[in-house]
Each structure stands twice: as C-alpha cells, then as structure tokens.
Amino acid sequence: MILNEARLAAALPAYELGSQLGRGAFGVVLAGRHRELGRDVAIKVLPIGEGRMAEARLLALLDHPHVVRVFDAVTVDDLHLIVMELLPGGTLTHRAAGISTEAVCAVGLAVAAALACAHQNGVLHRDIKPENILFDRSGLLKVTDFGIAKLVEGAAADASASAVIGTPRYMAPEQLLAGRLSAATDLYSLATMLYELSTGKPPYGAGLPAPSLIAHHLNVLPPPPVGVPARISQVLMRALAKEPAARQPSAHAFAVELAHAAVVELGPGWLARSGLAVRLDDEVRAAADGHPFPHQAARAPYQAARAPHQSRSQPPPPYPVSRPGRRAVVGLASVLVVGVAGLLFILLRNGGDGGDSGRRLAGGGVPDQRSTAPPSTSITAQPPARVGSRNAPELLSTPLAAHTAAVWTVKISPRGDLMATGGDDQVVLLWDVSDPTSPRDLGTRAITHLGRVEDVAFAPDGRTLAVAGEETLRLWDISNPVSPRALGAPLTGYAGLMYSVAFAPGGRLLAAAGSGQAMVLWDVADRARPRLVTRLDGHTASVTFAPDGRTAASGDGTRAVLWDVTAGSSVRATAELPSVAAGWVYAIAFSPDGRTVATAGDARTVQLWDITTPTEPTRLGAPLADHSATVPAVAFSPDGRTLATGSDDGTVLLWDVTDRTAPSRLGEPLTSQSGFSAVAFSPDGHMLATAGGDRLVRLWGLG
C-alpha cells in the first residue's frame, strides 16, 4: 500500500501524523498525535473493502480497560482510517522470555477479562496470540487486533464460521474445520498461548508441517505443560479439550478457575508478585486473593429431564447434547472435507503453521454473519436401549477423557443420573449420565481439592457430596450440580490422609478412614456444621455401611473390622475378618441384603464372608484368586447377583455370586493398559462404571 501523506493529513486535520509503526497484510499503522489534546495515538490505514471498518465498530462496542480503545474512524476515498490508543509498551511476545508463572496467570486473567467483555457484547476475537497482546505506557495489558473478530447477534457469542481464519498454531479444532464457533473457541486459543508462555513452546511444538498440525489439533491430546503447577495445568488442559463443551463455559468461568488455582499453587499475594496491573471484577479478584465470593443469584435447580446446565429460558448451548443422527454425521463429514481442504491449501501456500512470524489465515469471502439454529439439546425422556450383558459387557460411549491424571474414584448418585469422578488431578468432575450412551461433563471445576482426591460419596438424597483426599475432607452442596458450593469448613477431628468416605443409609452419619485412624464418624444432620461423634485409631484404606445402617465395616490394615454404630459415640467392634496371607484390605463392600461382605486388597484375592450373624462371620468358599495384582476395588450389583472386582493388573472381573459359596466368572475381563482403581454399578444395575490409571472413565452396558 502506497500512502499519500497529504491526503491522510487532510482526512484527519485534528492529528499530526508521525512515522510508520508497522505494516501487515491488511494495512499500515502510523503514529499520530492529537493537536489539541496532546494525546499520542495509533492510526490504522486500511484499503476500502467490505467489512474493513468492522474492527472500529466492534471496538466501539467494547469499553474495558484490557481492550484497546478506538477514538475515531474516517473513510476517505479508497481508505479507512481508524484512530486508536497508542500502545508503546510492546507485545507480549517481547516479554515472553523468562516470564514467571505468576505473570503468566496474570496475563490469563487480563485476557480472559477482555474476552468476557467481548463475548457479553456478542463479539468473538478468533485470533488470540502473543502478537495481539500489547501494553500501554504504564504497562497495562491490552487485547488488540479485532480485525478478524466476528460479531454475532445476541450475547451468546456463538456462530458458524464460513471461512477458516485465524493463526493456525492457536486455533481450536472447530475453527480449523470452519465449524460452529463460540466463546470456547477463544478460550482454546488463550490456553494455547498460556501453555506456550509457561513452557516456551506451543502444545504441539513449533514448525509442524500442515497435515501434522491439523491432525494434532483435531485428534491428539497435548501433554500437561512441564513445570506448571498441577492445578494451573489442569485449568489449561481443560480449556484445550477437543470438544468445546468440555472447556470452561465462559471466559469469566475460566478466569475464576485460574485465579483459584493460582492462589492455591502460588500462595497469597501472587498477583502482586506478577508485576502486572490487572483490572478484575469482584468475583475474579476474590478468587485471586483466596477469598470466597457469594453468588448474587441462585441458579435453576438441576433437573435430569433436560440438559442440567440449561433452564428452559436459557438459549441452548452451541453443541449437541444427544448423539447426532445419520444426517448430522454426513453434514459433519462435509464440513471436515471442506474445512481441512481449505486449511491445507492456505497453510501450504503460507508455508507453515503460522508460528512466530504471526502469519494469519484468511479464507476467501466475508465471514457469514448469519447464525444457524443450534441443534436440539433436550435429553430424551425414553430410557436408552439396553446394551451388553453380564457375560458380555459393551461400552456405552467412548471413554470419558476429561481428567488429566489417574482417576481413583467413581460414584453414581442414588437416582442414577449423576456421576462423580476424582483423582490425581485434584478435581472432582460431575457428569450427567441420565443417558449413559451420551454422558456429558457438566462443566464445573469448582470442586477442587488440596492434594489427590481419594474418594467421594453421595448422600442418600443425592444433594450432598463428600470429598476426601490427601489434605482435607469436605462436604459440597450439589443440589445444582452445575454450580456446587462448599458447605462450611473442611471437617475436623482426623489426622493424616483420608482414603475412604461413606454416608450411612439414613444420611445423618458420615464415616471416613485413612492413615492414622481406623474410622472417624461425624453427625452431619447439619451439613454446614458437622459434629464429630468418635474417632478410632488405626490405618484404614476403606470404609462402608451395611444397608440397614446399623453396621459399618472398615479395612484396617491386614483385617476388616465390623462395627456396631447404633449407640452414637459408643462404637464397638463386633468381629474381625482376617485377610488372606496377611495382605492389606483396600476394598470392602456389603451385598444389598446385608448378609455378605466382600473384602479385597494386596493379597490379590477377594474373599466373601457370611455376616448373617455379625458377631460370628464365616468364610464363604475359597478366595477368588483370578487377579494377578492388588485388588483395590470391589462392588456388588443392586440385585446382589453380580460382583465386580478391579485390579492393578489392568482387569475388571465380573462374578456370578448367586451362590455365594461358589462364585463363577462371567465372560472375559474388561481390560485397560493401566490398573483399575474404581468400579461402581448404577442403581438399576444396567451400567458399570470403571476408572483407573489411564485417566479414562468407562461406562459399560450390562443389559
């Protein structure tokens, strides 16, 4: 572009024109100064073209301290002139070397705040990357270059892309495929940028050839960022999920998660130590400072008959809840072909992945401003068809891969519509499994934990979840599982790690066990103020209650112990169940009729016990010895006919225990490349959930 300075000066008589600051594919940026106000500005000069003034119009919608401001816009002859604030502090790219974790998190909060403002005004940025993050003279971060941003009707900020546009290294899968875009699209780019700032390289490395870059973004889960604290890594990895639905539901939610993770990992005062000035709303600021922030409005109660995170008055999310039909699959295939073909052409033409040089993809034509109707999100009221059998279980869906580390516990709610999972990534995930063929991550990451999550337990009414682990035991109100909230402070009265937790059938008594105690009991009638009932010394890996609530069982070292819990604080042991070969008892379960107990552990066996008379337990047959490693998981089906056992040998075995004295194997083992640490039946007995060291949760149909 050749500029006529006299013509530009005539078009902007209030400004003195200065030197050229930069030049790009779409125009030139000049320095300028307002004659009367003495304000330094940047003047973007663009050739006339359809949509070229869109950036000025979009920026005029946004009033936020972390968004670059626009002061004026003029069209003269064949040029568009946009007068914006001057940002002499340079780009984020120039500050990336040696950036601290505190500063990376501060950048994340600032950019997320800017995106939240944009999304609330119906604007998607679509090109978040270090080159588009600049700083003003005081060091305040600004999100810039809304030149390829998309304005969509309404505040939902989701739209269908009609062109592949953006910078490939930072583009979300749906953006690469010219698919349906949403706020989650910008979050993927933001997480990619923060990953790169933290590690010095993007999630998939630099300089990948175009086909490999596409394949990685679409199909390969990046490794957790090396050297990044676990909770912060978890926030980034969630935002890098392939499915938009698995990412944070909004830029604000991302900011709250990141702020909470940062204060836990980096300690109080981390934001001040970052060296960056950040303008945050009250809730994000409270999370960054480690203070609770009260929610201003209650959300609609969870109802399993429809998408749990969606009230009837809310617009549906930009992703399908149920499986698409054949027509939808054909449509998706068409999008894949067109999107990937177009992307390959552009990438190969530009010669790379659009890396450090900041090269941008620009598809032909103007982005379509029309928003197509989103697919239906209602969950069918009809029960899903039965799949599999006890002898031949079948996967009901693809394995659930939202966790970023080993999963230690999986539990299903008493109603059977909600599932909770937790493990080494220090977070509990909640899943809608009302249709187990289409399980959905409900998106909340509020239930975080200091240290590994060892176990969770639903209260009998399904409204409270107990979470136990390395550091704390805490109760959560999950009446609305999309917005769980902590109930009071963590429970007290125990010492050491907590390995297991269980509610009594009546819901008033809570038991937990771990290193340093055989069992601890609380009265949780007031969920916000639990009262310690008693504490028994020992070293216990598991605890559970009999169906009648009168007896508890704990795996205490090399034995299981039955306890009479009917007399309040006067808990007494009624019997001991010794382990085979003096192995530690890691798992214990009552049969639904309360007459049988199964114990398992590092003796690699499972033993059934007749406890019809709790004071005189007797062995039922020989130990089940088909596993070749520790057995940390055991569960009875609701009808009592099937026993599931999970082992570190990478198998789950199903047993017919109709005759408790002579159990028999059912079908082939369920297998995994890593060990299984948790098994759980659904209340109707038609589904088995398994989880373990491979980070995956699997749902199996049992007919």
d(CA 434, CA 398): 16
* Stretch 84-108: mean pLDDT: 95
- Domain definitions of the chain by residue range: 5-85, 92-292+326-350, 405-701
Residue 45 pairs with which residues in a beta bridge? 28, 81
CA nearest neighbour of 587 among 603, 604, 600 = 600
406-440 pLDDT, tens digit per residue, is 999 999 999 999 999 999 888 999 999 999 999 99
Q: What is the pLDDT of residue 292?
A: 56
Say if residue 381's pLDDT is above 90: no
How confident is the prediction for the chain on average, in pLDDT?
A: 82
343-374 pLDDT, tens digit per residue, is 544 444 444 454 443 333 333 333 333 333 33
Say if residue 554's pLDDT is above 80: yes
Give 562's pLDDT tier (boundaries 50, 70, 90).
very high
Q: Which CATH number fits the domain 92-292+326-350, given the four candidates 3.30.70.20, 1.10.510.10, 1.10.10.10, 3.30.360.10?
A: 1.10.510.10
**CB distance 188 to 101 below 8 Å:** no
d(CA 306, CA 321): 10
CA distances from 475 to 355, 420, 424, 459, 530 (A): 46, 13, 19, 10, 9
Give 305's pLDDT tier (boundaries 50, 70, 90).
very low
What residue type is 479 in one-letter code? S
- Residue 647 burial by CB count (10 A; 0-12/13-18/19+): exposed, middle or buried? buried
Residue 604 structure tokens: 């690699």
Q: Which CATH number fits the domain 5-85, given the four candidates 3.40.50.300, 3.40.225.10, 3.30.413.10, 3.30.200.20?
A: 3.30.200.20
205-247 pLDDT, tens digit per residue, is 777 777 788 788 888 888 899 999 988 998 999 999 998 888 9
Q: What is the pLDDT of residue 335?
A: 40
Say if residue 333's pLDDT is above 60: no
161-201 pLDDT, tens digit per residue, is 445 577 889 999 999 888 889 999 999 999 999 999 999 99
CA distances from 592 to 46, 505, 589 (A): 73, 12, 9
248: Cβ–Cβ under 8 A, 6 or more apart, which residues?
A: 184, 187, 235, 238, 239, 254, 257, 443, 445
261-287 pLDDT, tens digit per residue, is 899 899 999 999 999 999 999 989 988
Q: What is the pLDDT of residue 116?
A: 95
Using a pLDDT cut of 90, give the percent of the chain over it.
54
Radius of gyration, alpha carbons of the chain: 29
Q: Integer distance in angstroms from the first to the last C-alpha of the chain? A: 69
Q: What is the assigned CATH class of domain 405-701?
A: mainly beta
Assess whether 127 carries a catalytic annotation.
Answer: yes
> Which of 127, 353, 424, 694 is the catalytic position?
127
Residue with tokens 């050297």: 227
- pTM (2 decimals)? 0.52
Residue with tokens 């588009």: 132
Beta-carbon count within 10 A of 412 CB: 23
Give 476's pLDDT tier (boundaries 50, 70, 90).
very high
Using a pLDDT cut of 70, give the percent of the chain over it.
81
* Stretch 75-97: mean pLDDT: 89
Say if residue 327's pLDDT is above 50: no
